[in-house]
Amino acid sequence: MATVDEIAARYLLWCEDHREQTTTRFYRCRLKPLISAFGPREFDELTQIDLEEHFTVSGKGLSGSTRRSNIVAFLRLQSWALERKLIAAAVAEKLEKPRAGRRDRIPTREETIAIRRSGSMAFRAIYQALRRSGARPCELCTAQISDLKEDRTVIELEKHKTAHSTGKPRRIQVGKKLRRIIERAIGERTEGPIFLSPRGRPWTVGNLSSTFRHLRNKAGLSKDLVLYMTRHEFGTKATEQFGIHAASKFLGHTQITTTQRYAHENEERLRGLQDDVL
């Protein structure tokens, strides 16, 4: 029999070999409360009640999305351990997952201006690049100068979220406006990350998101405004201007149904379009 500590450690090592860095960091972070609570205990000895109480207590004060992610991480760990016969049976057949927060809107112009006004030059560079490209924050945090291809018209990432399912690199298109942002961020450097934090270190999704939250709160903006909305903003505008198929290509989606979640209709725009229907 193996402890929670032992199984979690083996799972994270497996993730390092088979999943992207961002995925491994996600599981490492989301499993941390579980390991802290139950680390020395035999995994097989955990009970449904133990876990329900744990996720209730450890989830106090956290968002629905974070609480849901913690439960999803445990269930994935349990499935992995079952597949490898590290545990005899599932210790929790079903755990009720909180509803994840939905992103039903995109940032307003005023919100974007407020965030940009308060941010450092280094933050504004990657923030504007996210808005211009529709890239995932993890993609621009990890993108290297060496990933710029074809005369700096494409960022090509071999390691990315869907690499294991598509078998293809993620190609982020670099238009003239985005290229100017990138070239200013790089300056005279010839290697290393494209974007650096104010301290000259690589950005991580964690410190980029926390910087965004700090600027949001400082500006007194709504707490439903999150960094990932830059991707939803780009997806919405690309769909409006060029259609959902083009937006899907920009965002790196393999299915149009995924892109549909990123295309938020603006009711004011709909009222204007209604006048032209007949």
With a CB cutoff of 8 Å and minimum separation 6, the contacts of 148 are 154, 155, 174, 182, 194
Which pLDDT belongs to residue 218? 94
Residue 229 to residue 89: CA distance in whole angstroms: 40
Q: Along the 278 residues of the chain, how does pLDDT read in single tens digits?
A: 899 999 999 999 999 998 877 788 889 999 999 999 999 999 999 999 999 999 999 988 777 778 899 999 999 999 999 999 999 999 998 898 877 655 668 899 999 999 999 999 999 999 999 999 999 999 999 999 999 999 999 999 988 776 666 778 999 999 999 999 999 999 999 999 999 999 999 999 889 999 999 999 999 999 889 999 999 999 999 998 999 999 999 998 888 888 888 777 666 665 666 666 65
**Alpha-helix residue ranges (DSSP H) falling in the chain:** 4-18, 21-38, 48-58, 64-83, 109-118, 121-133, 137-142, 163-166, 176-186, 205-218, 229-242, 244-251, 256-260, 267-274
Determine how many CB atoms are found less than 10 A away from the CB of residue 219: 15
Residue 29 to residue 171: CA distance in whole angstroms: 28
CB 41 within 8 A of CB 73: no
Which pLDDT belongs to residue 163? 64
Q: Which domains does the chain have, with CATH numbers?
A: 4-83 (1.10.150), 110-227 (1.10.443.10)
With a CB cutoff of 8 Å and minimum separation 6, the contacts of 94 are none
Terminal-residue alpha carbon distance, the chain: 71
